[in-house]
């Protein structure tokens, strides 16, 4: 789900408090990430792929 905020201040407040969700058992499956353009998403996808590969190699 993508949400649009009316002000940058609201965005900054939410992003500053997003870590608290990880400690909340009821909302543990909720992730909040900043909006990224296509290039940023591609870079993140590559980095995730590399991390998974390193994890796989480490488990063998």
24-51 per-position pLDDT tens digit: 888 878 888 888 899 999 999 999 999 9
Q: Which two tokens stand for residue 30?
A: 């909720």
pLDDT per position as a tens digit, 5-27? 899 999 999 899 888 887 888 88
Closest CA to 28 of 37, 19, 16, 39: 19
* Helix then strand then coil, % of the chain, to nearest 5: 65, 0, 35
Q: 59 pLDDT band (50/70/90 cuts)?
A: confident
The per-residue pLDDT for 38 is 94
The per-residue pLDDT for 45 is 95
Q: Which two tokens stand for residue 7?
A: 């002000």
């Amino acid at each position: 789900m993508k949400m649009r905020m009316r002000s940058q201040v609201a965005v900054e407040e939410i992003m500053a408090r997003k870590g608290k969700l990880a400690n909340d058992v009821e909302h543990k499956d909720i992730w909040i990430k900043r909006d990224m353009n296509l290039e940023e998403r591609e870079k993140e996808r590559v980095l995730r792929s590399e991390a998974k590969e390193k994890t796989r190699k480490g488990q063998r």
